Amino acid sequence: MEANPAGPRGHVAVGVDGSRHAELALEQAAAEARRRGVPLEVVHGRPWAALPQAGAEPAAHTPSREDAQALAESSAEHARRLAPGLEVVASAVDEEAPDALVRLSHLAGLTVVGSRGLGGFTGLLLGSVGLRVAAHTAGPLLVVRGDLPPEHNRVPHGTVLLGVESGADADAVALAFREAAARKARLMALHAWVYRHLAPPGEPLVPTSPRREDIARVARAEAAAAEGVLAPFRGRYPQVRAEVRAVNGGAAHALVEASEAADVVVVAVHRRRGRLAMRLGPVVHSLLHHARCPVLVVPVPLGGGDGGHGEGGGHDGDHTEEGTT
């Protein structure tokens, strides 16, 4: 079945290439489409005739458009078996896979990619396709790590993890609440902050009582700020049990560690309006390489000004500060 060139708005789109990593992404995409009650679009992009690189993961080789379309159709059939009754369309496009997925992200409610695919070296944690799509996606992007088991074999934790820094992350917060509601899961909002007060020369390394009190005061203020970001959404999603966890430390490490007990981690990535490209900051970069659950990247427009920000629970822009991997 040929896909509608315009694509059904709000659907789930997934890229496939015959690799095991793409199969994991397909299975996750089928589950996401079924959960949302929307169609699934399965896409296989160029290059069809490129032979796998030496040392690359074995995967299906598609030397012609006919073979490429057959691979897309076979993947679509697999998705239909996984989710009976799901509307699935399949297509092979004369376009580089990252470009095709970025284009589809303008129409899709969710785009899904695997961490590596055909031509991806086994030593890499995230391939060039995933990184390119993550850097340019126009809508929410779910990256499924290749070292994860298929969703139907995972033990659900009943937790959506959200990285949050400030009110600028509202789009990611809204999506995290929707994810938690759809999954009937709790929402754990992690807000990381760093106590930057420098001790005068000669002051003991062990915090004094005034210093401990100051740290506690900052911790309360940071937690209250994060609570304020979540507050507008609590009334809209009364069924979601949302908690805030404020931690003193780097956001990347805290989120990766917390992802061990989460079903998905949601994180905002900020881009300036009108920019042709978006570099992934250290928090998102670390999650894409090291998270222990799928990562849902939410692009959020950043209105002017300097894009650099300190470490936060999920606010990630062009900065390359501590935590860069």
Q: Which helix (H) or strand (E) holds 189?
A: strand 186-193
Residue 47, preceding bond cis, omega within 30 degrees? yes
CA dist 100 to 132, 179, 198, 286, 321, Å? 11, 25, 49, 25, 32
Contact 312, 267 (CB under 8 A): no
Interval 201-213 mean pLDDT: 64
Q: What is the pLDDT of residue 47?
A: 58
Q: Which residue has the higher pLDDT, 207 or 64?
A: 64
| CATH no. for 159-302 | 3.40.50.620
- Domain spanning 12-153: which CATH class is it, in words? alpha beta
User: How is the chain split into domains, by residue range?
Assistant: 12-153, 159-302
Q: Is 118 helix (H, G, I), strand (E, B) or coil?
A: coil
* Residue 55 φ/ψ region, left for φ over 0, alpha for ψ in the -120 to 50 degree band, beta for the rest: left
pLDDT band at 197 (very low <50, low <70, confident <90, very high): low
Q: Which residue has the higher pLDDT, 136 or 311?
A: 136
Give per-residue pLDDT as tens, 250-283.
999 999 999 999 999 999 988 655 544 456 788 8
Q: Is 244 helix (H, G, I), strand (E, B) or coil?
A: strand
Cα 188 to the chain's mean position, in Å? 16
Contact 109, 11 (CB under 8 A): yes
Identical fold, 12-153 and 159-302 = yes
Task: Provide the percentage of residues in the chain whose pLDDT is more than 70.
Answer: 72
Interval 186-201 mean pLDDT: 80
Q: Which residue has the higher pLDDT, 310 or 192?
A: 192
Interval 222-251 mean pLDDT: 95
DSSP letter at 4 equals: P
